Amino acid sequence: MKGRTFLSAILAGTLLATQGCERHEERIFHMIRCTMAASVEKQNDPLIVKSWEITGLYMRENGIKKNIAELTKITANVRDEIMGSSDSSWDGRDTRVNEIVNSEFCRAYLNLLQQK
């Protein structure tokens, strides 16, 4: 288990180094956004679990404390972005998912997770 935690810390550190100096809150939002979009697109459970673990580790290492209501709000906002309005088509949802997954941040983040 220690090796897995150490690997997660290395991945999180590498992500920080490749993405520059964004605010922590914005980074957390993008990590969650990327995870949720990837879960819709790929249904890759091990990758999704690893992503949630890295997000939690990143928050702990940076002293970021979010309560359930704050995390629920972030995920609700991402869900609304992905699903679109009530009259949106599935094709529209798929387009939004692809845009998120193919964003620079998400590509780099998912590639790092898949390497380990």
Domain definitions of the chain by residue range: 2-115
pLDDT at residue 46, as a whole number: 82
Tokens 């091990």 correspond to what residue? Answer: 46
pLDDT at residue 14, as a whole number: 55
Amino acid identity, position 17: A
29-to-1, 26, 87, 91 alpha-carbon distances in Å: 27, 5, 25, 24
pLDDT at residue 71, as a whole number: 87
CA 14-45-73 angle, to 5 degrees, is 75
In the Cβ-directed half-sphere of 61, how many Cα atoms lie within 13 Å? 17
Low-confidence ranges of the chain (pLDDT < 50): 1, 18-21
pTM over 0.85: no
